[in-house]
Structure 1
Amino acid sequence: MDNQTSFIRGRLSTLSASIALSLLALSSPVSADEIENIVIIGRMHSDVLNLPANVSVVDATDIADSGVTKLTEALRNLNGIQISDNGTGAMLSMRGFSSGQAANNTLILVDGRRLNNIDIAAPNLNSIPLNMIERIEILNGSAGVLYGDQAVGGVINIITRAPDKQGGHFSLNGGSFATREAKGDIAGSFAENWHYYLSGNQKKSDNYRQHNDIDTGAVLGRVGYRDQLTDFYLESSYFDNNVQIPGALNKLQLLQDPRQSTNNTDYQHDITTAWRSGLSRKISDNWKLSADASYSGSNVTFVSWGSPGRNDRSQLMLSPKAVASIPTPEGELTLVSGVDISKGKSRFSFGRNNTQTSLSPYVQASVPLTPKLSYVVGGRYADVHDDLYDHGVYPAGITLKQHAKAFELGLNYHLSDANRLYLRGEDNFRFAKVDEQAYTPPGVVGLKPQTGRSWEAGWDYTNGGLQSRFNLYRLNLEDEIIFDSSAQKPVGGSFNGANVNAEASRRYGANLSLDWQPLVGVMLGGEYHYIDASFTAGAHKGKSLSWVAKHSGRVYASWDITEQWQIYSDLAYTGRRYEEGDNANVSPQLGGYTLVNLALNYRYGHWLASLRADNLLDKQYVSSANYSSWGSTYNPGSGRGVFLTAAYNF
């Protein structure tokens, strides 16, 4: 029996007992509404206003009205999301993390399944075509209790469609940069209580820059069973993404021609196959048991700086949980308790591989004190084992054992049906990835887990056609895991710099959003986000964290001109920021920029046509930048693109 198997079995018996005790502690079953155990941002069905956190939702209608053709454009500057793109894929950052840290401190979920990789590679958002999305839930802030590792700056949960009625959708899209895309899905039922869903897409585009062609496609199939007590599903998906890599530009090249490439050989080809299954059973009026299991396997072949390579990854995850809802005279008491078990493997062709096993039980309860006041309390413990081999740094292999914990306490007060206030304090943590653990300074054997604590307060107001949210927060981190180009490279290392536990850092900020419907068919809205992120100790004390825009936001307007015609426009602003890695703030900041987008939609019966212009004013901007004393490098953002979509729903 291997070490991972013994580790899991030893922990499972303790975990099972703890879950059983938590369930037995509940009061006797009494009449209650059905518990809807849906995979959402709170790991159970809950009204957004019952969560003491800054949560927003974008549904399929919002996406269709905006006319966007890419997921990143649907998310740009929403609820504090800042986007970076180096030409191979976008990275989403929340609450003041640089592009190099974003993939490890913002957790991306698809139906509750982690999309983040075992190594530092960013989650591939191209694997989620828009036609598969039912809604996107965004939690701005830490979620260490509910989600554990990497849920530091925020959590984005992408919910795919799960229709239970006969119907389907087909669309064609084409436009600038020789873009062409076909998407379709169909749903229906067979036999009693059984249903199915099939979806697929294929997209090709030359993209804005030379040598940046993309050819990507995905298919998904799901079959499920549902009755009053039981919900079961089995799902399989396949994703194939081939993209050419144009390379970064120096400042002169950027000014001369931002569309040029600096190489004509580099590319990346991702193939991922995933399986997912879940079973939930309502066992009384008060609580439900469920378990979700998923497996994903991917291989990435690439040429980087003319040298070929390959990475292979696999991830097996199991998440059993119990959800309870108990009526009390003061309101509904809810509890979610479970464990996240995972075993991931990552193998690199250049002589590095890792097997990581983790087990992480958690529990969270929302307890009403009065009909208007409730508190949330919860905790999580995470235990992680890494079996790591690197031919240069750890040629004999090494086993690393680490643990972390998180605690949460929040208050939620409903002043009225329209007003609510909340306060929340929560721990967060993340463990070093295999790439980071295998490249540390001499004498450093294993980076410490990054730990932190978040405090926040917020106010939500909803009254008819007016909705507003205001949130204040502070995030403190210790042992933050970063790559330091000035650190001594490890013995056997191939390039300068190393991954280190950095000085302490602090982020605080504010978020304000407003949605207003002044007239029937007219919607106006906007949001503003302020972040002050800086080091609080060490050589860079008082310096701003790199690649974090202090000011960002967006405004939008939507007008239903007639029953058939609708026009939509938004402006997304990203403020000034230092180049990635410029922790000493020695280089001038990159200028801020505003992107203007416009869409015109026409609906007739089951048909929808949409004309969308991204970056209407053809603004030139930098989507990623890496500082170097020898000369910084840049990846330009995309110029103006115009796209036409025709869709039919049946």
Structure 2
Amino acid sequence: MKSPKGFRGKYFSLAAILALSATITLANETKSYVDTKKSAEAQEEFSESEELTPPSEELDVVVISKKIKVKEVDAPFASEIYTKKQIKKSRAKDIYEFLNTQSSVVTIPSYGNIFTQSIDMRGYGIGDGYQNVVVSVNGRRLNNIDMTSQLLSSIPLESIEQIEIIKGSGSVEYGDGANAGAINIITKGYEGAAVKAYTGSNGLQFASIGLGIKKEKFSISGYIDDYSHNGYKTIANEGTKDDSWSRNKEIKGTFTPIENLTLNLGKSFSKMQIKYPNALTLAQYNQDPYFTPIPKVEWWGTEQDYKIQSYYSNMLNYGLNYQLNQNILFDFQGYDENKDSTYESVGGSFPSKDISHYDNKAYNTKINFKNKDFKIVLGLDSFEGNRDSYGNLVTKNNLGYYATLKYNINNQNSFSIGSRYEKIKYEHNDGINILKDDIKLNAFDIGYNYTIDKFSSFFISINKSFQSPDIDRFFTYNFATSHYEFNGFIEPVKVKTLNTGYNYIGYPNKFKIATFYSDIEDEIYYTGSVNTNFDKTRKYGLEIYDKYNILYNLFITLNYSYVNTNIKENSINPAVEGNNIPGVSKHNIKFALGYNPTHRINLLLSHVYKSKAYSMSDIDGSFGKMEAYNSTDFSATYKYKKYEFFAKVNNLFDKKNALFADDGTTLGVYPVNYERNFMIGMSAKF
């Protein structure tokens, strides 16, 4: 086994000290804990620490990503809810790492890009899965109009209050792209001051500060964070490494001029840059994942050593929330985002720089009606997306109307129903020709929840969803005419999903199990030469979540998902009928063991396993299944009053992992998480 890069003995020493402290304290844990809590001197220290048993609000979580608020146990759909405390205990360095190690969602750096990673949920694949799940932050969609994944790196993990994963539902509320479901991220402003900093292997550096004031009539808060990494490996012969950096900042506030009316305004900025390595061959990867990639021959015949992507985003959000009376609420939110993405090809005879400018505007309006037995939401969503690249202006505009109702028949039975109509308009202007088209799509959701008691329930739902083609798939370049034209091989995706499940939201055990079956028409994929559709595909699976508190300070969690995918009909290439969707692991296991020897010390051991899968875009399975993904993490936290000191080891057993991709003729390998890494840091609140 190779020696760990960036290793420093002090990291292991800290872990050893914490482990020894845990062992010494274990023998008298319960008595010492109770006696300490009773003492007046220790009471002050204890109040500054987290309780070792979960507070009642963690057992009564409210799902707010759906437009109708509903308790977790009463939800007529499958869900995963992660609170701020759970996110903090994971010691994940960013939201991608948290989702990949703690939830059923699969994330992996896209061709080496750690900032806009590939996302998969319920078997849509690491190649196209991100377009089949809607990701939102406080209601703002992060999905793009082209084949660019959602930019989650602009969201500091420290600002997140709750992450909600809605599976097999959300198409009525979120519309276009919610085939697998929705991931909603809820952030809250800072109150007081919060700082965090850490350092680690390969020149990892991070620092952030958040400040905020909250009064009866107004609040204002903001943050700044700074991340940099020297890179994992040499990616070009002159010694260039795959280094990266990012800077995020935000300021936002609320104002309540009169009772029941709240105005909000916010501004955020993000800048980041990363160097992309070329792919390795499978033989090179098996020999050494640190192998320096050879120059890549592009389609115009020149060799490129590597690429640099720079990203800049400037986002304004504004809105109001007005409570007309105890039964009626009106809410309006607007978003205006400008961003630039630059790809620079380095090396070869013809280095190039491609710049794309995006201008996105969105408006979300809804009215909530409620009484004792029912809740109704009427809403309108508008999204106007523009991309200017190579002198070509391309737009995709979505306008959706929806209505949804939840009715409590009695104390045990509740029923929900909703419907959505959405119109999507396209326009492509290359300065000579203007292409226009529109698509009309609809969705519905019907759900039923039977509450067995205050802790447990059974649910069943039927959902219809859709995904319209993005602008990169809908338009194609004709080399014969040197102009863009409509892609005659592409259709929107239509999905029908049946969900069933059982929830037990209690203590010491929290248990969820769900099954699903999806019939898909015209699932979009790339053949290696053209974007087109599978005529019919299907997916079914099983999802299990269990958190069991063995003792008040010792818990275990299991997040397991089984997904089976199948290409049922494909008129373009019938030979692939019966094959699996590439880039989908049948078995995904996330396991964690947490232990608090005292209220000051928190230890967490976690493991991620993804079974073998066909490489991305390998529809015919010509390269066979690639290796499984394995990674084990360990973290330790020590708390003293307002301060926390933590250390973490990623990929403890030094396993090598990679993203495998089929480009139509060859197999490319992009190593990810292929070495042991260390991190040590501190945080504080004032």
| TM-score, normalised with respect to structure 2 | 0.83
Q: Compute the displacement of 1:407 (Å).
A: 1.2
Q: SS of the counterpart of 2:472?
A: helix
> Aligned ranges for residues 310-325 of structure 1 at < 5 Å?
310-325=355-370
In structure 1, distance between residues paired with 2:101 and 2:203: 27
Q: Which residue in 2 is equivalent to 1:177? A: 202
In structure 2, distance between residues paired with 1:208 and 1:324: 53
Q: SS of the counterpart of 1:103?
A: helix
**Matching residue within 194, 209, 215 for 2:245:** 215
In structure 1, distance between residues paired with 2:628 and 2:184: 28
In structure 2, distance between residues paired with 1:444 and 1:83: 29
Deviations 1:199-229 (A, max 9, x none): 1100110232333111101001011024751
Q: SS of the counterpart of 2:131?
A: helix
Q: SS of the counterpart of 1:479?
A: strand
Find out whether 1:383 has 2:413 as its counterpart: no
Q: Compute the displacement of 1:99 (Å).
A: 2.0
Find out whether 1:500 has 2:541 as its counterpart: no
Q: SS of the counterpart of 1:104?
A: helix
Find out whether 1:230 has 2:261 as its counterpart: yes
Deviations 1:297-343 (A, max 9, x none): 1001111464210111111001110012211xxxx311111010111
Q: Which amino acid aligns with 2:357?
A: D
In structure 1, distance between residues paired with 2:665 and 2:519: 32
> Aligned ranges for residues 244-263 of structure 1 at < 5 Å?
244-262=275-293
**Matching residue within 377, 380, 387 for 1:339:** 380
Q: Which residue in 2 is equivalent to 1:398? A: 435
Q: Compute the displacement of 1:358 (Å).
A: 1.9
Q: Is the 8 A contact 1:108 1:156 kept in 2?
A: yes
> Aligned ranges for residues 257-406 of structure 1 at < 5 Å?
257-262=288-293, 264-304=305-345, 306-327=351-372, 332-349=373-390, 351-389=391-429, 396-406=433-443
**Matching residue within 500, 506, 517 for 1:463:** 506
Q: Compute the displacement of 1:541 (Å).
A: 1.5
Q: Which residue in 2 is equivalent to 1:525? A: 557
Deviations 1:411-434 (A, max 9, x none): 011011121000000111011111
Q: Which residue in 2 is equivalent to 1:12? A: none
Stretch of structure 1 that moved more, 259-268 or 311-320: 259-268
Q: Is the 8 A contact 1:80 1:140 kept in 2?
A: no
Q: Which residue in 2 is equivalent to 1:31? A: none
Q: Which residue in 2 is equivalent to 1:243? A: 274
In structure 1, distance between residues paired with 2:266 and 2:522: 39
Q: Which residue in 1 is equivalent to 2:611? A: 575
In structure 2, distance between residues paired with 1:443 and 1:183: 46
Find out whether 1:423 has 2:460 as its counterpart: yes
Percent identical residues: 21
Number of aligned residues: 590
Deviations 1:475-521 (A, max 9, x none): 11111121112xxxxxxxxxxx1111222110000001111112111
In structure 1, distance between residues paired with 2:486 and 2:680: 57
Q: Compute the displacement of 1:78 (Å).
A: 4.2
Stretch of structure 1 that moved more, 359-368 or 78-87: 78-87
Q: Compute the displacement of 1:353 (Å).
A: 2.6
In structure 2, distance between residues paired with 1:481 and 1:193: 49
Q: SS of the counterpart of 1:270?
A: strand
Deviations 1:528-556 (A, max 9, x none): 10000110112122111100000011111
Deviations 1:54-106 (A, max 9, x none): 11112221122121112111111544211221211311110101222122112
Q: Is the 8 A contact 1:202 1:218 kept in 2?
A: yes
Q: Is the 8 A contact 1:43 1:146 kept in 2?
A: yes
Q: Which residue in 1 is equivalent to 2:649? A: 613
Q: Which residue in 1 is equivalent to 2:97? A: 73
Q: Which amino acid aligns with 2:330?
A: L
Q: Say if 1:443 and 1:67 are closer, same or farther in 2 by CA, change over 3 A.
A: closer
In structure 1, distance between residues paired with 2:394 and 2:337: 16
Q: Is the 8 A contact 2:282 2:668 kept in 1?
A: yes
In structure 2, distance between residues paired with 1:229 and 1:51: 28
Find out whether 1:153 has 2:153 as its counterpart: no
Q: Say if 1:51 and 1:552 are closer, same or farther in 2 by CA, change over 3 A.
A: same
Q: Compute the displacement of 1:560 (Å).
A: 0.6
Q: Is the 8 A contact 1:514 1:526 kept in 2?
A: yes
Q: Compute the displacement of 1:255 (Å).
A: 2.3
Deviations 1:119-142 (A, max 9, x none): 111112211121221121111223
Find out whether 1:450 has 2:481 as its counterpart: no
Deviations 1:462-486 (A, max 9, x none): 232111000000111111121112x
In structure 1, distance between residues paired with 2:290 and 2:389: 31
Q: Which amino acid aligns with 1:245?
A: Y
Q: Which residue in 1 is equivalent to 2:77? A: 53
**Matching residue within 153, 159, 165 for 1:138:** 165
Q: Which amino acid aligns with 2:508?
A: G
Q: Compute the displacement of 1:608 (Å).
A: 0.3
Q: SS of the counterpart of 1:283?
A: strand
Q: Is the 8 A contact 1:440 1:498 kept in 2?
A: no
Q: SS of the counterpart of 1:177?
A: helix
In structure 1, distance between residues paired with 2:263 and 2:475: 41
Q: SS of the counterpart of 2:550?
A: strand
In structure 2, distance between residues paired with 1:467 and 1:443: 50
Q: Compute the displacement of 1:44 (Å).
A: 3.9
Q: SS of the counterpart of 1:582?
A: coil
> Aligned ranges for residues 558-573 of structure 1 at < 5 Å?
558-573=594-609
Q: Is the 8 A contact 1:440 1:500 kept in 2?
A: no
Q: Which residue in 1 is equivalent to 2:586? A: 550
In structure 1, distance between residues paired with 2:306 and 2:515: 47
Q: Which amino acid aligns with 1:63?
A: I
Q: Compute the displacement of 1:443 (Å).
A: 8.0
Deviations 1:220-253 (A, max 9, x none): 1011024751222101000001111112211122
Q: Which amino acid aligns with 1:267?
A: I
Q: SS of the counterpart of 2:684?
A: strand
Q: Which residue in 2 is equivalent to 1:637? A: 672
Q: SS of the counterpart of 1:272?
A: strand
In structure 2, distance between residues paired with 1:443 and 1:642: 50
Q: SS of the counterpart of 1:198?
A: strand
Q: SS of the counterpart of 1:280?
A: strand
Q: Compute the displacement of 1:189 (Å).
A: 3.3
Q: Say if 1:261 and 1:125 are closer, same or farther in 2 by CA, change over 3 A.
A: farther
In structure 2, distance between residues paired with 1:389 and 1:261: 41
Gaps of 5+ in 1: 1-37, 486-496
Q: Which amino acid aligns with 1:502?
A: F
Gaps of 5+ in 2: 1-61, 235-240, 296-304, 479-484
Q: Say if 1:252 and 1:390 are closer, same or farther in 2 by CA, change over 3 A.
A: farther
RMSD of equivalent CA atoms: 1.9
Q: Is the 8 A contact 2:201 2:679 kept in 1?
A: yes
Q: Which amino acid aligns with 2:79?
A: V
In structure 2, distance between residues paired with 1:290 and 1:39: 18
Q: Is the 8 A contact 1:119 1:433 kept in 2?
A: yes
Q: SS of the counterpart of 1:49?
A: helix
Q: Which amino acid aligns with 1:627?
A: D
Q: Is the 8 A contact 1:77 1:553 kept in 2?
A: no
Find out whether 1:162 has 2:189 as its counterpart: yes
